[in-house]
Structure 1
């Protein structure tokens, strides 16, 4: 699959970043790989220090990358947060911003950030079959919907919101209009 640009929400302008893109790959039905590329004045991003790669709540309040997976014909969806610190969080929602449950998949998501001159890159592996409440039948043979987003905090304390698609109004990554990408399961 090719890299897709994330769009900056018009209500959160920022002159620090030039672009954010994501490439989505699924080499096996149970593995989802996200390749994020963030370019611009990376030195002006507010980045957390490295930490143990483990569950950490409220990563969305700071610089982090996000993904959401929705089940078709259901209000259920899953939120994934990935910090440049290597920390992560996974939540299950029963409906729009309702019934949030923290999850601790085993194996957990693998989060790798690399910083280069003018670029911050992240490679993230999500084992879908390790997500509690996401069944093999839902992974295989059905279309899951994916939203991909980013929360970027700069050195001035401003936060910009980026996504493949933004619903009308204020930034809202949980809104179904933002689930712009279909992940097709095995049709066999």
Structure 2
């Protein structure tokens, strides 16, 4: 697991840590997991059914940014515990946004205990750009009372900006053969 850091201008209340990692990557699926410790006051959006949606970042959601090669373009994957999702391509930092076609919907589940929550996502590999990637794991965590914290591998500015390529510090290799 890779530990994410909360943005210093938006510290969490009860959440102690957020970790993320790739738990599987083959020709069919890219599987990612986020683990939240101190999740007793975590706000989990209610089930909304599968489907694309915008604005998922306005409450608890999990994101993965993938950048292939050295170019400015990248893909943003937004995943919600409500099972809503979206995938966008950008031509450069926050420019040229377009919904990326996906061959099928991602699969998402959340398991929550008294202190820990696990969010798992399986994203169809056929809908993603070719690996290897520079990657940014992120999370927006909402706690009771509407308090939000913003988690990423790195924060490089005074305000949270998950689109900053300097935050894409992890690497993901090409998928393994079946």
Post-superposition Cα deviations, 1:118-172, rounded to whole Å, max 9, x if no partner, equal 12111111122224xx2xxx33xxx311100000112222211011122233211
CA RMSD across the alignment: 1.9
Tell me which residue corresponds to 2:121.
Answer: 124
* Counterpart Cα distance in 2 of 1:161 and 1:50: 22
Alignment partner of 2:15 out of 14, 17, 35: 17
* Counterpart Cα distance in 2 of 1:14 and 1:73: 33
Asked if 1:147 corresponds to 2:136, the answer is: yes
After TM superposition, the score normalised by the length of structure 1 is: 0.86
After TM superposition, the score normalised by the length of structure 2 is: 0.91
Deviation (angstroms), 1:173: 0.5
Query: RCO greater where, 1 or 2, for CA within 8 Å and sep 6 or more?
Result: 2
**After the TM superposition, which segments of 4 or more aligned residues of structure 1 sit over 3 Å from their partners?**
none
Structure 2, unpaired ranges of 5+: none
* Counterpart Cα distance in 2 of 1:24 and 1:79: 16
Q: What is the number of equivalent residue pairs in this alignment?
A: 177
Give the alignment of 1:31-70 within 5 angstroms. Answer: 31-42=29-40, 44-70=41-67
Structure 1, unpaired ranges of 5+: none
